[in-house]
Structure 1
Amino acid sequence: MGKIHDAISPQHAEFIAVQPVFFVATAAASTEQRVNVSPRAPGKSCVVTGPHQVAVADLSGSGCETAAHVLENGRLTLLFVNLLEGPPQMLRLHGYAKLKLPEEVDDALLARFPEKITSSPGFRCVYILNVDRVSTSCGYSMPEMSLERFRTILDEKSEQTDMHAYRTLKNCYSIDGIPSLMLLRLKDTVGPKPQNGYIYSTPLGTFDLAAKAKAQKRLQQIETSNARDFTNSRRPEKISLPPPTRSTFPVDPLSFFLGVLFCFVCHSFIASFSPE
């Protein structure tokens, strides 16, 4: 049975820490763009920093949907599910997040994450989630599984790959073209380049003034977002929706034209019977 809690309890913190995997859900502000859910591991990469706040350390991946959505509107939900031995339970944390680059995170907070994460070349950011809803539910339909091991492939690839170049290519834009975290570093030096179902970055020429202007607008959008305002933890008063891409004309143009034509014909017909 579902239950709402006033705050994140010590028991919830223990539950989070022992989970081998958890899930992060975000969505673009526009309904014409996509919703995203991503796995994260382990549970210790999410630490409870207060009764209404958690912090999540994030490693590099081939996408950057979570960062793009957080920078756009801040909304973020975490889901923890007990798939190991023990009582079935699911924990959801809803709220609004801030995004900090590694060098912006306090040393005391960094020390609470596994060193394997914070010392990795793939470490790209920390999400500070200000939680406004804590809920648990039964999870009776979830399977009970056993954990064999954590894969080491990501660690190995991070050591062998130029992670700055990798993130430059793949972590500038969401799949919908929403500006993401690497633009905080690259500023207005790159633009979007659709390729293979993703939107990668491409260097901008010094004299490509039109593209530079668009890049500066994208940069301003994320630099002034609520997710980059570290002075307060309040929920945004309003989520700014982008202008609709479809026509907002209230009536189909053809129907409108035919309606006007019909009125004109009717008026002419009636006028023909009027006395001179």
Structure 2
Amino acid sequence: MGKKRPDLTPQLQEFIKEQKIFFVGTAADSGFVNVSPKGMATFYVLNSQQVLWLNMTGSGNETAAHVLKDARMTVMFCSFDKTPLILRLYGTAEVYHERDAVFSEYMSNFEETAGARQIFKLSIELVQSSCGFGVPFMEYKGERDTLKVWAEHKGEPGIKEYWTEKNQTSLDGFDTGIFE
């Protein structure tokens, strides 16, 4: 059965460190709900009530647009091996860009990666865990390097051009705040 608590225990923090994928859910007060899978080494636990995740450049920028409209965010982890567990972190998020003073401080928690777009900080209001008995076993085979190679090939000027073309508005036409 599901358990609720206000923060991440050391055991849950360890569970997060072991996961290779997580999912981020956001929504504005209207329009589409967005759920995005995230991988690579892009998640970091600051403390029992705050986490960070590094958002890489991608085809859309829904999460940033939604957080500007409504800061609610859910992050979900689920175990596909070992002991089954689903872990959801509910809270409010802030988005930081490289132009923000705190960005470099938070970036120090991640590997420097071409194509880093934003860092989100989630202040946790509720942690919910559940059994995960219905989640299938799946085998982790490794990270894809396609996104890293693509971003390195584009270089910083190419990434900024991509942001201009593809990352300024959401599917619903909301501003993403990618540029000041």
Query: Do the two structures share a fold, i.e. TM-score over 0.5?
Result: yes
2:6, 2:125 within 8 Å by CA — same for their partners in 1? no
SS at match of 1:135: strand
Cα shift at 1:75: 1.0
User: 1:120: Cα distance to partner?
Assistant: 2.3
Instruction: Give yes or no for contact 2:80–2:138 (8 Å, CA) kept in 1.
Output: yes
Contact 2:96 2:118 in 1 (8 A): yes
Tell me if the contact between 1:171 and 1:181 (Cα under 8 Å) persists in the aligned partners: no
1:159 deviates by 1.1
Contact 2:97–2:178, Cα closer than 8 Å, also in 1: no
Residue of structure 2 equivalent to 1:155: 148
Structure 1 partner of 2:24: 24
Instruction: Give 1:83 shift.
Output: 0.8
| Separation of aligned partners in 2, 1:109 and 1:38 | 21
Q: Contact between 2:103 and 2:119, CA under 8 Å: does it hold in 1?
A: no
Tell me the C-alpha RMSD between the 2 structures: 1.3
Match of 2:94 in 1: 98
- Once the two structures are TM-superposed, the CA of residue 143 in structure 1 deviates from its matched residue by 0.7
Q: Which residue of 2 aligns with 1:142?
A: 135
1:46 aligned residue (43, 47, 50)? 43
Unaligned runs of 5+ in 1: 185-276
Amino acid aligned to 1:15: F
2:24–2:35 CA contact under 8 A, matched in 1: yes
Q: Rg: which structure is higher? A: 1
Per the alignment, residue 10 of structure 1 pairs with 10
* 1:173 Cα deviation after fit: 0.3
Q: Which runs of 4+ in 1 moved over 4 A?
A: none
Match of 1:56 among 53, 61, 64: 53
Structure-2 separation of matches of 1:171 and 1:139: 34
Helix, strand or coil: the match of 1:155? Answer: helix
Count residues with an aligned counterpart: 176
Greater percentage in strand: 2
TM-score, normalised with respect to structure 1: 0.61
Map 1:91-240 onto structure 2 (within 5 A): 91-104=87-100, 105=102, 107-113=104-110, 115=111, 119-161=112-154, 162-184=158-180
Q: After superposition, what is the alpha-carbon deviation per residue over 1:178-212, rounded to whole angstroms, capped at 9, x for unaligned?
A: 1103232xxxxxxxxxxxxxxxxxxxxxxxxxxxx
Partner amino acid, structure 1, of 2:11: Q
- The alignment status of 1:87 with 2:80, answered yes or no, reads no
Answer yes or no: is the 8 Å Cα contact 2:90–2:127 preserved in 1: yes
TM-score normalised per structure 2: 0.93
Q: 2:68 aligns with which of 67, 71, 82?
A: 71
Unaligned regions of 5+ residues in structure 2, if any?
none
In 2, Cα distance between the equivalents of 1:14 and 1:103? 32
Contact preservation (8 Å) 1:122, 1:158: yes
